[in-house]
Chain A
Amino acid sequence: MSLLHRIEHPRDALAWEGDMPTLGRYTAGIAGEKFFRAIQEHGQFLGTVCPICEIVYVPPRLYCEQCFEHLDEWIEISPIGWVHTFTLVHLDLDGNPLPEPLPLAFIQLDGADGGLVHFLDEIDPEQIFVGMPVEAVFKDPAERKGSILDIAYFRPV
Protein backbone atom coordinates (compact mmCIF):
# COMPACT_ATOMS: atom_id res chain seq x y z
CA MET A 1 0.00 0.00 0.00
CA SER A 2 1.39 3.35 -0.98
CA LEU A 3 1.48 6.40 1.22
CA LEU A 4 -1.35 7.85 -0.85
CA HIS A 5 -3.64 4.98 0.14
CA ARG A 6 -3.10 5.29 3.88
CA ILE A 7 -6.22 5.83 5.92
CA GLU A 8 -6.30 9.26 7.47
CA HIS A 9 -8.81 8.76 10.27
CA PRO A 10 -9.55 5.71 12.44
CA ARG A 11 -13.16 5.83 11.28
CA ASP A 12 -12.08 5.31 7.66
CA ALA A 13 -11.58 1.57 8.37
CA LEU A 14 -13.50 -0.87 10.52
CA ALA A 15 -11.69 -1.07 13.84
CA TRP A 16 -12.28 -2.18 17.39
CA GLU A 17 -10.36 -2.37 20.60
CA GLY A 18 -9.41 -5.24 22.86
CA ASP A 19 -6.90 -5.86 25.60
CA MET A 20 -4.77 -8.68 26.99
CA PRO A 21 -6.21 -8.96 30.49
CA THR A 22 -3.42 -10.26 32.68
CA LEU A 23 -1.92 -8.96 35.86
CA GLY A 24 1.62 -9.79 36.95
CA ARG A 25 2.19 -11.16 40.44
CA TYR A 26 5.88 -11.29 41.26
CA THR A 27 7.84 -12.83 44.09
CA ALA A 28 11.07 -11.30 45.34
CA GLY A 29 12.63 -14.76 45.24
CA ILE A 30 14.81 -16.57 47.74
CA ALA A 31 17.54 -13.91 47.89
CA GLY A 32 15.18 -10.99 47.32
CA GLU A 33 12.86 -11.98 50.16
CA LYS A 34 15.74 -11.79 52.63
CA PHE A 35 16.89 -8.44 51.21
CA PHE A 36 13.49 -6.77 51.48
CA ARG A 37 12.71 -8.21 54.91
CA ALA A 38 15.98 -6.74 56.22
CA ILE A 39 14.98 -3.34 54.83
CA GLN A 40 11.48 -3.60 56.26
CA GLU A 41 12.41 -4.91 59.69
CA HIS A 42 15.83 -3.35 60.30
CA GLY A 43 16.30 -0.54 57.79
CA GLN A 44 19.38 -2.39 56.63
CA PHE A 45 20.88 -3.47 53.30
CA LEU A 46 22.17 -7.03 52.85
CA GLY A 47 24.36 -8.40 50.11
CA THR A 48 25.71 -11.79 49.10
CA VAL A 49 29.36 -12.50 48.45
CA CYS A 50 30.96 -14.68 45.81
CA PRO A 51 34.31 -15.59 47.35
CA ILE A 52 35.50 -17.12 44.08
CA CYS A 53 34.87 -14.07 41.90
CA GLU A 54 35.25 -11.57 44.77
CA ILE A 55 31.96 -9.93 43.93
CA VAL A 56 29.56 -8.45 46.50
CA TYR A 57 26.09 -8.55 45.01
CA VAL A 58 23.62 -5.83 46.05
CA PRO A 59 20.76 -6.45 45.66
CA PRO A 60 21.79 -9.93 46.76
CA ARG A 61 21.58 -12.90 44.44
CA LEU A 62 21.13 -16.58 45.15
CA TYR A 63 23.89 -17.53 42.70
CA CYS A 64 26.88 -15.93 41.05
CA GLU A 65 26.14 -15.28 37.39
CA GLN A 66 29.84 -15.49 36.53
CA CYS A 67 30.94 -18.75 38.18
CA PHE A 68 27.40 -20.11 38.84
CA GLU A 69 28.08 -21.04 42.47
CA HIS A 70 25.32 -20.95 45.07
CA LEU A 71 25.87 -17.89 47.28
CA ASP A 72 25.20 -18.28 50.99
CA GLU A 73 27.58 -15.76 52.56
CA TRP A 74 25.49 -12.74 53.62
CA ILE A 75 26.91 -9.44 54.78
CA GLU A 76 25.46 -6.12 55.89
CA ILE A 77 26.03 -3.28 53.45
CA SER A 78 26.36 0.37 54.42
CA PRO A 79 23.43 2.62 53.45
CA ILE A 80 26.00 5.08 52.12
CA GLY A 81 27.18 5.28 48.56
CA TRP A 82 27.86 7.73 45.72
CA VAL A 83 26.09 8.95 42.62
CA HIS A 84 27.37 6.93 39.68
CA THR A 85 25.15 8.86 37.25
CA PHE A 86 21.89 10.82 37.44
CA THR A 87 19.13 12.47 35.44
CA LEU A 88 16.43 15.07 36.04
CA VAL A 89 13.08 13.77 34.82
CA HIS A 90 10.87 16.55 33.40
CA LEU A 91 7.82 14.68 32.03
CA ASP A 92 5.53 12.02 33.48
CA LEU A 93 4.67 8.80 31.63
CA ASP A 94 1.92 10.56 29.70
CA GLY A 95 4.21 13.34 28.60
CA ASN A 96 2.83 15.97 30.99
CA PRO A 97 5.33 18.34 32.66
CA LEU A 98 6.16 17.50 36.30
CA PRO A 99 5.75 20.35 38.81
CA GLU A 100 9.45 20.06 39.62
CA PRO A 101 12.15 18.07 37.80
CA LEU A 102 12.59 14.73 39.58
CA PRO A 103 16.20 13.75 40.41
CA LEU A 104 16.87 10.07 39.76
CA ALA A 105 20.25 8.41 40.25
CA PHE A 106 22.15 5.14 40.02
CA ILE A 107 23.74 4.93 43.45
CA GLN A 108 26.84 2.80 43.82
CA LEU A 109 26.81 1.46 47.39
CA ASP A 110 30.04 1.45 49.40
CA GLY A 111 31.50 -2.03 49.74
CA ALA A 112 29.26 -3.49 47.05
CA ASP A 113 29.55 -4.23 43.37
CA GLY A 114 26.55 -2.50 41.87
CA GLY A 115 23.80 -0.67 43.65
CA LEU A 116 20.34 0.76 43.28
CA VAL A 117 18.45 3.17 41.09
CA HIS A 118 16.49 5.54 43.32
CA PHE A 119 15.26 9.08 43.90
CA LEU A 120 17.42 11.85 45.33
CA ASP A 121 15.94 14.43 47.70
CA GLU A 122 16.90 17.09 50.27
CA ILE A 123 19.09 18.66 47.60
CA ASP A 124 18.88 21.43 45.01
CA PRO A 125 18.94 19.58 41.66
CA GLU A 126 21.51 22.08 40.44
CA GLN A 127 23.91 20.82 43.10
CA ILE A 128 23.88 17.13 42.16
CA PHE A 129 27.13 15.83 40.69
CA VAL A 130 28.57 12.47 39.69
CA GLY A 131 30.61 11.15 42.61
CA MET A 132 28.44 12.90 45.22
CA PRO A 133 28.26 10.93 48.49
CA VAL A 134 24.68 10.03 49.47
CA GLU A 135 22.86 7.91 52.04
CA ALA A 136 19.57 6.03 52.10
CA VAL A 137 16.62 7.53 53.98
CA PHE A 138 14.17 4.82 55.04
CA LYS A 139 10.47 5.36 55.66
CA ASP A 140 9.08 5.03 59.18
CA PRO A 141 9.07 1.36 60.18
CA ALA A 142 5.25 1.42 60.39
CA GLU A 143 4.99 2.50 56.75
CA ARG A 144 7.37 -0.11 55.33
CA LYS A 145 5.94 -2.90 53.21
CA GLY A 146 8.99 -4.90 52.15
CA SER A 147 9.31 -2.96 48.90
CA ILE A 148 11.98 -0.89 47.17
CA LEU A 149 9.81 2.10 48.14
CA ASP A 150 10.59 1.42 51.82
CA ILE A 151 13.61 3.51 50.90
CA ALA A 152 12.09 7.00 50.65
CA TYR A 153 15.08 8.42 48.74
CA PHE A 154 18.81 9.05 48.99
CA ARG A 155 20.18 12.38 50.28
CA PRO A 156 23.62 13.96 50.42
CA VAL A 157 25.88 13.20 53.38
Chain B
Amino acid sequence: MSGNRVAVVGAGMTKFVRRAQETAKELAWEATHLALESCDMTLDDIDAVIIGTAPDAFDAVHMKSEYLSDGCGGWGKPVIRGYVGGGTGVFAPIQGWYHVASGLFDTVLVVCEEKMSSCQPHPQGAFLTIFDHTTERPLEPNLLWIFALEMNAYMNRYGLDKRDIATVAVKNKRNAADHPAALLGDANITLEDILNTEVLAWPVQRGDVSPVTDGAVALVMSAEHVARRVTNKPVWVEGVGWTLDTAYWTNRDLSYPVYVEEAARMAYKMAGITEPRQQIHIAEPYDPFDYKELHHLEGLMLFDKGEAPRAAADGVTQRDGDLPVCPSGGLLGVGNPIAAAGLMKVAEIFWQLRGEAGARQVPGSPKRGLAQAWGDLMQVGTVIVMGV
Protein backbone atom coordinates (compact mmCIF):
# COMPACT_ATOMS: atom_id res chain seq x y z
CA MET B 1 0.00 0.00 0.00
CA SER B 2 1.41 3.35 -0.99
CA GLY B 3 0.76 6.62 0.81
CA ASN B 4 -0.81 7.28 4.19
CA ARG B 5 -3.67 5.06 5.34
CA VAL B 6 -7.13 6.35 4.44
CA ALA B 7 -10.52 5.23 5.75
CA VAL B 8 -14.11 5.85 4.82
CA VAL B 9 -15.74 7.07 8.04
CA GLY B 10 -19.19 8.27 6.94
CA ALA B 11 -21.74 7.84 4.15
CA GLY B 12 -25.12 9.19 3.13
CA MET B 13 -27.45 9.05 0.17
CA THR B 14 -30.76 10.41 -1.12
CA LYS B 15 -33.53 8.21 -2.32
CA PHE B 16 -33.00 7.29 -5.95
CA VAL B 17 -36.04 8.53 -7.89
CA ARG B 18 -37.27 8.89 -11.43
CA ARG B 19 -37.91 12.65 -11.20
CA ALA B 20 -36.66 14.72 -8.27
CA GLN B 21 -38.32 18.02 -7.48
CA GLU B 22 -35.11 19.02 -5.70
CA THR B 23 -32.52 20.91 -7.68
CA ALA B 24 -29.25 19.09 -8.28
CA LYS B 25 -27.69 21.23 -5.55
CA GLU B 26 -30.43 20.27 -3.09
CA LEU B 27 -29.93 16.57 -3.86
CA ALA B 28 -26.18 16.93 -3.31
CA TRP B 29 -26.75 18.79 -0.04
CA GLU B 30 -29.10 16.12 1.29
CA ALA B 31 -26.59 13.32 0.67
CA THR B 32 -23.65 15.36 1.96
CA HIS B 33 -25.52 16.48 5.06
CA LEU B 34 -26.42 12.85 5.85
CA ALA B 35 -22.82 11.72 5.35
CA LEU B 36 -21.49 14.39 7.72
CA GLU B 37 -24.20 13.59 10.26
CA SER B 38 -23.34 9.87 10.11
CA CYS B 39 -19.88 10.57 11.55
CA ASP B 40 -20.73 13.61 13.70
CA MET B 41 -18.75 15.99 11.54
CA THR B 42 -19.47 19.47 10.26
CA LEU B 43 -18.03 21.41 7.33
CA ASP B 44 -15.36 22.71 9.73
CA ASP B 45 -13.88 19.21 9.75
CA ILE B 46 -13.62 19.08 5.95
CA ASP B 47 -10.37 20.13 4.26
CA ALA B 48 -11.29 19.54 0.60
CA VAL B 49 -14.15 18.35 -1.58
CA ILE B 50 -14.17 15.95 -4.52
CA ILE B 51 -17.23 16.20 -6.76
CA GLY B 52 -18.02 13.37 -9.16
CA THR B 53 -20.67 13.98 -11.74
CA ALA B 54 -21.14 12.69 -15.28
CA PRO B 55 -21.81 14.66 -18.49
CA ASP B 56 -22.87 18.28 -17.98
CA ALA B 57 -25.70 17.54 -20.42
CA PHE B 58 -27.46 15.27 -17.90
CA ASP B 59 -28.26 18.12 -15.52
CA ALA B 60 -28.34 20.46 -18.54
CA VAL B 61 -25.91 22.74 -16.73
CA HIS B 62 -22.47 23.48 -18.14
CA MET B 63 -19.63 23.55 -15.56
CA LYS B 64 -21.88 21.32 -13.51
CA SER B 65 -19.60 20.61 -10.56
CA GLU B 66 -18.94 24.31 -10.03
CA TYR B 67 -22.72 24.79 -10.02
CA LEU B 68 -23.09 21.91 -7.53
CA SER B 69 -20.22 22.93 -5.28
CA ASP B 70 -22.17 24.72 -2.53
CA GLY B 71 -24.48 21.71 -2.14
CA CYS B 72 -21.39 19.51 -1.81
CA GLY B 73 -19.87 21.56 1.02
CA GLY B 74 -17.38 23.27 -1.27
CA TRP B 75 -17.84 26.83 -0.02
CA GLY B 76 -14.41 28.36 0.53
CA LYS B 77 -12.59 25.03 0.18
CA PRO B 78 -10.28 23.34 -2.33
CA VAL B 79 -12.66 21.58 -4.76
CA ILE B 80 -11.95 19.27 -7.66
CA ARG B 81 -14.24 17.49 -10.11
CA GLY B 82 -13.59 13.93 -11.11
CA TYR B 83 -15.07 12.73 -14.35
CA VAL B 84 -14.57 9.45 -16.17
CA GLY B 85 -18.15 9.05 -17.41
CA GLY B 86 -19.92 6.07 -15.89
CA GLY B 87 -16.73 5.13 -14.04
CA THR B 88 -16.91 8.39 -12.06
CA GLY B 89 -18.69 7.02 -8.97
CA VAL B 90 -15.75 4.77 -8.16
CA PHE B 91 -13.11 7.17 -9.48
CA ALA B 92 -14.25 10.00 -7.15
CA PRO B 93 -13.40 8.04 -3.96
CA ILE B 94 -10.10 7.06 -5.60
CA GLN B 95 -9.43 10.79 -5.90
CA GLY B 96 -10.58 11.18 -2.31
CA TRP B 97 -8.07 8.50 -1.38
CA TYR B 98 -5.10 10.20 -3.02
CA HIS B 99 -6.04 13.61 -1.68
CA VAL B 100 -5.64 12.13 1.82
CA ALA B 101 -3.00 9.43 1.16
CA SER B 102 -0.72 12.15 -0.21
CA GLY B 103 -0.76 13.85 3.18
CA LEU B 104 -2.15 17.06 1.69
CA PHE B 105 -5.54 16.80 3.47
CA ASP B 106 -6.78 15.02 6.60
CA THR B 107 -10.49 14.75 5.78
CA VAL B 108 -12.33 15.12 2.49
CA LEU B 109 -15.88 14.89 1.25
CA VAL B 110 -16.58 12.84 -1.86
CA VAL B 111 -19.94 13.74 -3.41
CA CYS B 112 -21.51 12.27 -6.54
CA GLU B 113 -24.73 13.59 -8.06
CA GLU B 114 -26.81 13.10 -11.18
CA LYS B 115 -30.16 14.56 -12.11
CA MET B 116 -30.90 12.82 -15.38
CA SER B 117 -34.54 13.89 -15.52
CA SER B 118 -33.30 17.34 -16.56
CA CYS B 119 -32.10 15.91 -19.86
CA GLN B 120 -34.97 15.69 -22.33
CA PRO B 121 -36.31 13.96 -24.29
CA HIS B 122 -33.83 11.30 -23.10
CA PRO B 123 -30.28 11.40 -21.71
CA GLN B 124 -29.27 9.28 -24.70
CA GLY B 125 -29.30 12.47 -26.74
CA ALA B 126 -26.20 13.65 -24.91
CA PHE B 127 -24.42 10.46 -25.91
CA LEU B 128 -25.02 10.62 -29.63
CA THR B 129 -21.82 12.61 -30.03
CA ILE B 130 -19.57 10.05 -28.35
CA PHE B 131 -19.48 8.14 -31.62
CA ASP B 132 -16.90 9.03 -34.24
CA HIS B 133 -18.36 11.93 -36.15
CA THR B 134 -17.09 10.70 -39.50
CA THR B 135 -17.17 6.91 -39.47
CA GLU B 136 -20.14 6.20 -37.17
CA ARG B 137 -22.50 9.11 -36.64
CA PRO B 138 -23.86 9.06 -40.21
CA LEU B 139 -25.33 5.65 -39.23
CA GLU B 140 -27.25 7.38 -36.42
CA PRO B 141 -26.10 4.99 -33.68
CA ASN B 142 -27.29 5.24 -30.10
CA LEU B 143 -25.73 3.94 -26.94
CA LEU B 144 -27.75 0.73 -26.95
CA TRP B 145 -25.96 -0.38 -30.11
CA ILE B 146 -22.71 -0.81 -28.18
CA PHE B 147 -24.38 -2.77 -25.43
CA ALA B 148 -26.36 -4.97 -27.79
CA LEU B 149 -23.27 -5.80 -29.86
CA GLU B 150 -21.21 -6.38 -26.72
CA MET B 151 -23.86 -8.54 -25.05
CA ASN B 152 -24.25 -10.64 -28.18
CA ALA B 153 -20.48 -11.04 -28.50
CA TYR B 154 -20.35 -12.26 -24.90
CA MET B 155 -23.28 -14.65 -25.36
CA ASN B 156 -21.83 -16.14 -28.54
CA ARG B 157 -18.34 -16.52 -27.17
CA TYR B 158 -19.56 -18.73 -24.34
CA GLY B 159 -22.76 -20.20 -25.81
CA LEU B 160 -25.03 -18.34 -23.38
CA ASP B 161 -28.71 -17.59 -23.80
CA LYS B 162 -30.90 -14.85 -22.41
CA ARG B 163 -31.98 -16.91 -19.40
CA ASP B 164 -28.35 -17.27 -18.27
CA ILE B 165 -28.07 -13.51 -18.11
CA ALA B 166 -31.51 -12.37 -16.96
CA THR B 167 -30.95 -14.10 -13.59
CA VAL B 168 -28.78 -11.10 -12.71
CA ALA B 169 -31.66 -8.68 -13.22
CA VAL B 170 -33.92 -10.86 -11.08
CA LYS B 171 -31.35 -11.09 -8.26
CA ASN B 172 -30.59 -7.38 -8.20
CA LYS B 173 -34.19 -6.17 -8.36
CA ARG B 174 -35.05 -8.60 -5.55
CA ASN B 175 -32.05 -7.42 -3.49
CA ALA B 176 -33.14 -3.83 -4.02
CA ALA B 177 -36.49 -4.55 -2.41
CA ASP B 178 -34.54 -4.38 0.88
CA HIS B 179 -32.92 -1.02 0.06
CA PRO B 180 -34.81 1.96 1.47
CA ALA B 181 -33.47 4.25 -1.27
CA ALA B 182 -34.24 1.95 -4.23
CA LEU B 183 -36.22 2.92 -7.31
CA LEU B 184 -36.91 -0.52 -8.82
CA GLY B 185 -36.86 -3.02 -5.98
CA ASP B 186 -39.25 -5.92 -6.48
CA ALA B 187 -39.19 -8.91 -4.13
CA ASN B 188 -41.42 -10.98 -6.37
CA ILE B 189 -40.00 -10.39 -9.83
CA THR B 190 -39.34 -13.52 -11.90
CA LEU B 191 -37.13 -14.58 -14.76
CA GLU B 192 -40.17 -14.67 -17.02
CA ASP B 193 -40.96 -11.06 -16.13
CA ILE B 194 -37.54 -9.99 -17.39
CA LEU B 195 -37.66 -12.19 -20.48
CA ASN B 196 -41.07 -10.80 -21.44
CA THR B 197 -40.03 -7.15 -21.54
CA GLU B 198 -39.85 -5.34 -24.89
CA VAL B 199 -36.80 -5.73 -27.11
CA LEU B 200 -34.79 -2.53 -27.41
CA ALA B 201 -31.91 -3.75 -29.60
CA TRP B 202 -31.54 -7.51 -29.60
CA PRO B 203 -30.42 -9.09 -27.32
CA VAL B 204 -31.00 -6.13 -24.99
CA GLN B 205 -34.53 -5.97 -23.58
CA ARG B 206 -36.03 -3.36 -21.25
CA GLY B 207 -35.62 -5.67 -18.25
CA ASP B 208 -31.89 -6.00 -18.89
CA VAL B 209 -31.38 -2.24 -18.48
CA SER B 210 -31.10 0.03 -15.43
CA PRO B 211 -33.41 3.05 -15.27
CA VAL B 212 -32.75 6.75 -15.82
CA THR B 213 -32.54 8.11 -12.26
CA ASP B 214 -32.00 11.20 -10.08
CA GLY B 215 -29.97 10.95 -6.88
CA ALA B 216 -26.86 11.77 -4.88
CA VAL B 217 -24.44 9.93 -2.58
CA ALA B 218 -21.65 11.25 -0.35
CA LEU B 219 -18.73 9.78 1.63
CA VAL B 220 -16.42 11.22 4.25
CA MET B 221 -12.81 9.96 3.98
CA SER B 222 -10.16 10.58 6.62
CA ALA B 223 -6.51 9.98 7.41
CA GLU B 224 -5.82 7.29 10.01
CA HIS B 225 -5.32 9.62 13.00
CA VAL B 226 -8.70 11.29 12.32
CA ALA B 227 -10.49 8.06 11.43
CA ARG B 228 -9.48 6.43 14.73
CA ARG B 229 -10.79 9.42 16.64
CA VAL B 230 -14.18 9.72 14.91
CA THR B 231 -15.18 6.06 14.62
CA ASN B 232 -14.43 2.65 16.04
CA LYS B 233 -15.37 1.10 12.69
CA PRO B 234 -13.19 2.70 10.02
CA VAL B 235 -13.33 0.99 6.62
CA TRP B 236 -9.86 1.20 5.10
CA VAL B 237 -9.12 1.79 1.46
CA GLU B 238 -6.73 -1.05 0.70
CA GLY B 239 -6.27 -0.71 -3.03
CA VAL B 240 -7.33 1.42 -5.98
CA GLY B 241 -6.95 0.98 -9.72
CA TRP B 242 -8.14 2.50 -12.96
CA THR B 243 -7.25 2.12 -16.63
CA LEU B 244 -8.45 3.05 -20.09
CA ASP B 245 -8.65 0.71 -23.06
CA THR B 246 -8.48 2.04 -26.62
CA ALA B 247 -10.98 4.75 -27.53
CA TYR B 248 -11.89 2.74 -30.63
CA TRP B 249 -14.57 0.31 -29.53
CA THR B 250 -14.09 -1.53 -32.82
CA ASN B 251 -10.59 -2.40 -31.66
CA ARG B 252 -11.70 -3.98 -28.38
CA ASP B 253 -12.51 -7.61 -27.60
CA LEU B 254 -16.14 -6.93 -26.79
CA SER B 255 -16.57 -10.28 -25.05
CA TYR B 256 -14.04 -9.46 -22.32
CA PRO B 257 -13.46 -6.20 -20.38
CA VAL B 258 -9.68 -6.09 -20.31
CA TYR B 259 -9.86 -2.54 -18.86
CA VAL B 260 -11.50 -3.99 -15.74
CA GLU B 261 -8.82 -6.68 -15.41
CA GLU B 262 -6.04 -4.11 -15.60
CA ALA B 263 -7.72 -1.82 -13.05
CA ALA B 264 -8.30 -4.82 -10.76
CA ARG B 265 -4.67 -5.95 -11.06
CA MET B 266 -3.54 -2.48 -10.01
CA ALA B 267 -5.91 -2.44 -7.02
CA TYR B 268 -5.14 -6.04 -5.97
CA LYS B 269 -1.40 -5.41 -6.09
CA MET B 270 -1.78 -2.36 -3.86
CA ALA B 271 -4.01 -4.33 -1.47
CA GLY B 272 -1.64 -7.33 -1.42
CA ILE B 273 -4.36 -9.56 -2.86
CA THR B 274 -2.98 -12.61 -4.62
CA GLU B 275 -6.06 -14.85 -4.53
CA PRO B 276 -9.03 -12.58 -5.17
CA ARG B 277 -11.51 -15.46 -5.06
CA GLN B 278 -10.49 -16.21 -1.47
CA GLN B 279 -9.66 -12.71 -0.34
CA ILE B 280 -12.67 -10.75 -1.69
CA HIS B 281 -15.77 -11.55 0.36
CA ILE B 282 -18.33 -9.26 -1.25
CA ALA B 283 -18.45 -7.47 -4.61
CA GLU B 284 -20.36 -4.56 -6.12
CA PRO B 285 -19.44 -4.71 -9.83
CA TYR B 286 -21.06 -2.19 -12.16
CA ASP B 287 -24.40 -3.49 -13.46
CA PRO B 288 -26.10 -0.92 -15.71
CA PHE B 289 -27.05 -3.98 -17.79
CA ASP B 290 -27.44 -7.49 -16.44
CA TYR B 291 -24.74 -8.98 -18.69
CA LYS B 292 -22.31 -6.30 -17.48
CA GLU B 293 -22.33 -7.69 -13.94
CA LEU B 294 -21.18 -11.04 -15.33
CA HIS B 295 -18.71 -9.43 -17.73
CA HIS B 296 -17.21 -7.39 -14.92
CA LEU B 297 -17.03 -10.29 -12.45
CA GLU B 298 -14.89 -12.09 -15.03
CA GLY B 299 -12.76 -8.97 -15.62
CA LEU B 300 -12.27 -8.73 -11.85
CA MET B 301 -10.94 -12.34 -12.05
CA LEU B 302 -13.52 -13.46 -9.49
CA PHE B 303 -14.69 -16.10 -12.00
CA ASP B 304 -13.08 -17.70 -15.04
CA LYS B 305 -14.01 -16.27 -18.41
CA GLY B 306 -17.50 -17.37 -19.37
CA GLU B 307 -18.11 -18.94 -15.95
CA ALA B 308 -19.91 -16.12 -14.13
CA PRO B 309 -23.35 -17.02 -15.58
CA ARG B 310 -23.10 -20.57 -14.24
CA ALA B 311 -22.08 -19.29 -10.80
CA ALA B 312 -25.04 -16.89 -10.86
CA ALA B 313 -27.39 -19.72 -11.80
CA ASP B 314 -25.98 -21.83 -8.96
CA GLY B 315 -26.71 -19.09 -6.42
CA VAL B 316 -23.07 -18.25 -5.68
CA THR B 317 -23.72 -14.53 -6.16
CA GLN B 318 -26.87 -14.37 -4.06
CA ARG B 319 -26.73 -12.41 -0.82
CA ASP B 320 -26.30 -15.67 1.11
CA GLY B 321 -24.03 -17.26 -1.51
CA ASP B 322 -20.27 -17.81 -1.37
CA LEU B 323 -19.62 -14.47 -3.06
CA PRO B 324 -22.49 -12.01 -2.56
CA VAL B 325 -22.63 -9.74 -5.62
CA CYS B 326 -24.56 -6.46 -5.64
CA PRO B 327 -26.28 -7.09 -2.31
CA SER B 328 -27.40 -3.44 -2.56
CA GLY B 329 -29.56 -4.26 -5.55
CA GLY B 330 -27.14 -2.55 -7.89
CA LEU B 331 -27.99 -0.16 -10.67
CA LEU B 332 -30.64 -2.56 -11.98
CA GLY B 333 -32.54 -2.37 -8.72
CA VAL B 334 -31.52 0.70 -6.73
CA GLY B 335 -31.24 2.84 -9.84
CA ASN B 336 -28.64 4.43 -12.06
CA PRO B 337 -27.98 8.13 -11.45
CA ILE B 338 -24.63 7.60 -13.20
CA ALA B 339 -21.91 8.94 -10.89
CA ALA B 340 -24.09 8.60 -7.79
CA ALA B 341 -24.78 4.95 -8.71
CA GLY B 342 -21.08 4.08 -8.62
CA LEU B 343 -20.61 5.80 -5.27
CA MET B 344 -23.72 4.02 -3.95
CA LYS B 345 -21.76 0.79 -4.51
CA VAL B 346 -18.83 2.07 -2.47
CA ALA B 347 -21.24 3.18 0.27
CA GLU B 348 -22.79 -0.31 0.20
CA ILE B 349 -19.39 -1.94 0.79
CA PHE B 350 -18.84 0.53 3.64
CA TRP B 351 -22.18 -0.36 5.26
CA GLN B 352 -21.75 -4.11 4.68
CA LEU B 353 -18.23 -4.22 6.17
CA ARG B 354 -19.47 -2.30 9.21
CA GLY B 355 -22.44 -4.63 9.62
CA GLU B 356 -24.83 -1.72 9.08
CA ALA B 357 -26.62 -2.86 5.93
CA GLY B 358 -29.84 -3.76 7.72
CA ALA B 359 -32.08 -6.13 5.78
CA ARG B 360 -29.40 -6.24 3.06
CA GLN B 361 -26.64 -7.42 5.40
CA VAL B 362 -24.78 -10.41 4.01
CA PRO B 363 -24.07 -13.19 6.51
CA GLY B 364 -20.65 -14.12 7.80
CA SER B 365 -19.13 -10.72 8.72
CA PRO B 366 -17.28 -9.99 5.47
CA LYS B 367 -13.84 -8.46 5.99
CA ARG B 368 -13.00 -7.24 2.51
CA GLY B 369 -15.05 -6.04 -0.45
CA LEU B 370 -14.70 -4.23 -3.72
CA ALA B 371 -16.68 -1.86 -5.88
CA GLN B 372 -16.11 -1.36 -9.58
CA ALA B 373 -17.49 0.95 -12.23
CA TRP B 374 -17.18 1.32 -15.99
CA GLY B 375 -17.68 4.18 -18.36
CA ASP B 376 -16.00 6.94 -20.35
CA LEU B 377 -16.22 5.72 -23.97
CA MET B 378 -17.19 2.31 -22.50
CA GLN B 379 -13.48 1.62 -21.96
CA VAL B 380 -12.60 2.78 -18.45
CA GLY B 381 -12.39 0.45 -15.49
CA THR B 382 -12.30 1.85 -11.93
CA VAL B 383 -11.83 -0.41 -8.90
CA ILE B 384 -11.62 0.20 -5.15
CA VAL B 385 -10.87 -2.49 -2.55
CA MET B 386 -11.84 -1.79 1.04
CA GLY B 387 -11.42 -3.78 4.23
CA VAL B 388 -11.84 -3.83 8.00
The chain A residues found within 8 Å of chain B, CB to CB, are 14, 16, 18, 20-33, 62-63, 65-68, 70
Contacts and interface: CB of A to CB of B under 8 A. Distances in A.
Give 4 closest A-B pairs by Cβ, nearest first.
Answer: A24-B60, A29-B23, A65-B70, A22-B125
A65 B60 contact: no
Contacts of A31: 26
Interface in B15-30: 20-23, 25-26, 29
B33 A24 contact: no
B120 A25 contact: yes
A18 B141 CA distance: 13
Interface in B26-52: 26, 29, 32-33, 36, 42-43
Interface of B: 20-23, 25-26, 29, 32-33, 36, 42-43, 57, 60-61, 70-71, 73, 75-76, 117-121, 123, 125-126, 128-129, 133-134, 137-138
B57 A29 contact: no
B128 A20 contact: yes
A58 to B, nearest CB: 15
A33 B21 contact: yes
A63 B128 CA distance: 36
A24 B118 contact: yes
A63 B34 CA distance: 13
Nearest to A63: B29
28 contacts: A16-B133, A18-B128, A20-B57, A20-B129, A21-B128, A22-B60, A22-B123, A24-B118, A24-B119, A26-B60, A27-B21, A27-B23, A29-B21, A29-B23, A33-B21, A62-B26, A62-B29, A63-B29, A63-B33, A65-B70, A65-B75, A66-B43, A66-B75, A66-B76, A67-B42, A67-B43, A68-B33, A70-B33
Contacts of A23: 60, 119-121
Given A25-B60, A68-B73, 13 more contacts: A18-B137, A20-B57, A20-B125, A21-B125, A22-B60, A22-B119, A26-B23, A30-B23, A30-B26, A32-B23, A33-B21, A63-B33, A66-B76
Contacts of B117: 25
Nearest to B36: A68
B75 A29 contact: no
Most A Cβ at <10 Å: residue of B22, B60, B137: B22
Contacts of A27: 20-23, 118
A68 B22 contact: no
A49 to B, nearest CB: 17
Contacts of B70: 65
Nearest to A66: B75
Question: What is the interface of chain A mostly: helix, strand, loop, or mixed?
Answer: loop
A64 to B, nearest CB: 9
A148 B82 CA distance: 33
A68 B23 CA distance: 16
B118 A20 contact: no
Nearest to A65: B70
Contacts of B121: 22-23
A68 B43 contact: yes
A28 B126 contact: no
A22 B26 contact: no
A32 B129 CA distance: 33
Nearest to B121: A23
Interface centre among B23, B60, B61, B133 (most CB of A within 10 A): B23
Nearest to A28: B23
Contacts of B20: 27
A68 B37 CA distance: 11
B173 to A, nearest CB: 27
A63 B29 CA distance: 8
B32 to A, nearest CB: 7
Nearest to A33: B21
B358 to A, nearest CB: 24
Nearest to B122: A22
A65 B120 CA distance: 29
Given A20-B126, A26-B118, A30-B21, A68 B32 contact: yes
A67 B75 CA distance: 9
Nearest to A62: B26
Given A30-B26, A68-B36, A70-B33, A24 B21 contact: no
Contacts of A22: 57, 60, 119-121, 123, 125-126
Contacts of B134: 14, 16
Nearest to B28: A63
A18 B133 contact: yes
Given A29-B26, A33-B21, A24 B129 contact: no
A113 to B, nearest CB: 14
Nearest to A31: B26
A70 to B, nearest CB: 7
A66 B44 CA distance: 10
A59 to B, nearest CB: 11
A63 B36 CA distance: 14
Contacts of B128: 18, 20-21
